[in-house]
Amino acid sequence: MVLQLYVHFPFCKAKCFYCDFCSHPAGQEEMLRYCAALEKEILSAGKKWIGAEVSTVFIGGGTPSLVPEEGMERVLRAMKSSFAFRPDVEFTSEANPGTLRENWLELMQRYGMNRLSLGVQAAQDALLKRIGRIHTFAEARQAVEMARRSGIRNLNMDLMFGLPGQSAGEWRETLDAACHMEPEHISAYSLILEENTRLFDMVERGQISVPDDDAAAEMYSLAREVLTAKGYSQYEISNYAREGKRCRHNVGYWQGAYYLGLGVNAHGMMPPAREEDARWIRLANVEDTGEYIRRMEAGEDACALREAIGEEEAMFETMMLGLRMNDGVQSSLFTGRFGRAMEQVWPDELESLVRDGLGMWTGGGFRLTDKGLLMQNEALLRLMK
Ligand code: SF4
């Protein structure tokens, strides 16, 4: 069996104002205890999924570059000894400017990291400050230089638009500045105002405002225009890559690869046990870091949710994830997985998407049009039974 690994580190220096991810500030001692707990989970997962081959690894957070080398090495060593990595493994770690260190980069690459994803977000320090980022743009540039010097040849930059008070001109400046640094991959995300975040409260109280939907849609179009002109091709609503540099890990998620999530609040999608009547098993670990550490130290299971995904739901998931990509869902993938063609499952619905200009048949499958990509929820609702 081939699978992808996701490993979560829930630590950040400070909480960004828009963030609702599982992350929080922590001291060295807590980070080291967490690493020891994670090591235990990895060793036990390796015994459970013995013989599995790993095609991609993604170390995310939080801020993995904040984790002390001593703890990180325990985790990396456990991964290497528990799983067989494919020779062409794509091994990504997230990192944040302002926390990146040469020693950390050296350690990660010694254990196989070959792709770095940096949270740059914006080129204007005032904007970075307004959303609670801990770094300046100059620090982001220094982080890129440090990564390149250390030998990283596959670099992603995360950028954000729709930020409070952000103008189209500033967004363009960010895109230009990012392209100037020549990363192999750029993710351009629209800010999503999540409840229970500081930014949400600030907007609710009228202390700050964010660009409206029309302005955000213009920024999305601007990203497409600028990035395409600079040689990046869009392969998913928020993702752009140079030739051959798509993020294989994320493409795997969207194409229904098996993945195993390790660490607090990590999620997975794995095959069912032989006797189970299910297509996939969705897994999720406990959401609280203290509880995760406690369970691991007590020799208990970190899993808090185990849900069987039946045929119907798996077919819908295949469309929901696959249609995020510009290539859409390949007919051969769908038929190979379910023994039925998409047009047999949703004959009227797919036809209505084509009729309304939201979807189209390609040589090998079905995809959403540009209009459909912007109205994904509407398009997917039609496929819900
Ligand atoms: S660095 Fe990332 S994970 Fe950490 S608080 Fe900011 S957005 Fe959230």
Q: What's the CA-to-centroid distance between 15 and ligand 1, angstroms?
A: 6
Is the pLDDT at 385 greater than 80, yes or no?
Answer: no
Would you give the DSSP letter of residue 67? S
User: Nearest residue CA, atom 7 of ligand 1?
Assistant: 19
pLDDT of residue 118: 98
pLDDT of residue 290: 97
Say yes or no: 223 and 339 in one domain. no
**327 lies in which domain range?**
314-381
The residue from 252, 273, 305 where one domain ends is 252
Q: Do residues 253 and 263 touch, judged by C-beta distance below 8 A?
A: no
Say yes or no: 372 and 237 in one domain. no
What span, in angstroms and rounded, lies between the C-alpha atoms of 385 and 373? 21
The residue from 226, 252, 278 where one domain ends is 252
pLDDT tens-place string over residues 55-97 = 999 999 999 999 999 999 999 999 999 999 999 999 999 999 9
pLDDT band at 54 (very low <50, low <70, confident <90, very high): very high
Q: What is the CATH number of the domain that holds 355?
A: 1.10.10.920
Any domain includes 298? no
- Does residue 12 have its Cβ closer than 6 Å to ligand 1? yes
Say yes or no: 245 and 370 in one domain. no
pLDDT tens-place string over residues 17-50 = 999 988 999 999 999 999 999 999 999 999 999 9
Say yes or no: 91 and 212 in one domain. yes
- Does residue 183 have its Cβ closer than 6 Å to ligand 1? no
Say yes or no: 243 and 322 in one domain. no
Q: What's the CA-to-centroid distance between 356 and ligand 1, angstroms?
A: 39
Q: Do residues 54 and 5 touch, judged by C-beta distance below 8 A?
A: yes
**pTM beyond cutoff 0.85:** yes
The residue from 219, 252, 285 where one domain ends is 252
Any domain includes 261? no
Say yes or no: 207 and 320 in one domain. no
- Does residue 189 have its Cβ closer than 6 Å to ligand 1? no
What's the structural domain count of the chain? 2
Any domain includes 50? yes
Any domain includes 270? no
pLDDT tens-place string over residues 240-267 = 999 999 999 999 999 999 999 999 999 9
Say yes or no: 340 and 241 in one domain. no
Site to substitute for ligand 1 among 15, 17, 200, most atoms within 8 A of C-beta: 15
Any domain includes 302? no
Q: What is the CATH number of the domain that holds 150?
A: 3.20.20.70
The per-residue pLDDT of the chain, averaged, comes to 96
Q: What's the CA-to-centroid distance between 62 and ligand 1, angstroms?
A: 5
pLDDT of residue 22: 86
Say yes or no: 228 and 356 in one domain. no
Share of the chain above pLDDT 90, in %: 97
Closest atom of ligand 1 relative to the 20 alpha carbon: 8
Say yes or no: 197 and 333 in one domain. no
pLDDT tens-place string over residues 126-154 = 999 999 999 999 999 999 999 999 999 99
User: Nearest residue CA, atom 3 of ligand 1?
Assistant: 62
Q: What's the CA-to-centroid distance between 21 and ligand 1, angstroms?
A: 7
pLDDT of residue 36: 98
Site to substitute for ligand 1 among 23, 189, 196, most atoms within 8 A of C-beta: 23
Any domain includes 262? no
SS (H, E, C) the chain: CEEEEEEEECECCCCCCCCCCCCECCCHHHHHHHHHHHHHHHHHHHHHCCCCEEEEEEEEECCHHHCCHHHHHHHHHHHHHHCEEEEEEEEEEEECCCCCCHHHHHHHHHCCCCEEEEEEECCCHHHHHHCCCCCCHHHHHHHHHHHHHCCCCCEEEEEEECCCCCCHHHHHHHHHHHHHCCCCEEEEEECCCCCCCHHHHHHHCCCCCCCCHHHHHHHHHHHHHHHHHCCCEEEECCEEECCCCCCHHHHHHHCCCCEEEECCCCEEEECCCCCCCCCEEEEEECCCHHHHHHHHHCCCCCEEEEEEECHHHHHHHHHHHHCCECCCEEHHHHHHHHCCCHHHHCHHHHHHHHHCCCEEECCCEEEECHHHHHCHHHHHHCCCC
pLDDT of residue 321: 96
Is the pLDDT at 273 greater than 90, yes or no?
Answer: no
- Does residue 61 have its Cβ closer than 6 Å to ligand 1? yes
- Does residue 63 have its Cβ closer than 6 Å to ligand 1? yes
124: nearest Cα among 194, 173, 59: 173
Any domain includes 321? yes
Q: Average pLDDT in the 176-202 region?
A: 96
pLDDT of residue 372: 94
Closest atom of ligand 1 relative to the 96 alpha carbon: 1
Any domain includes 276? no
Say yes or no: 229 and 318 in one domain. no
Say yes or no: 30 and 110 in one domain. yes
pLDDT of residue 274: 84
Q: What's the CA-to-centroid distance between 59 and ligand 1, angstroms?
A: 14
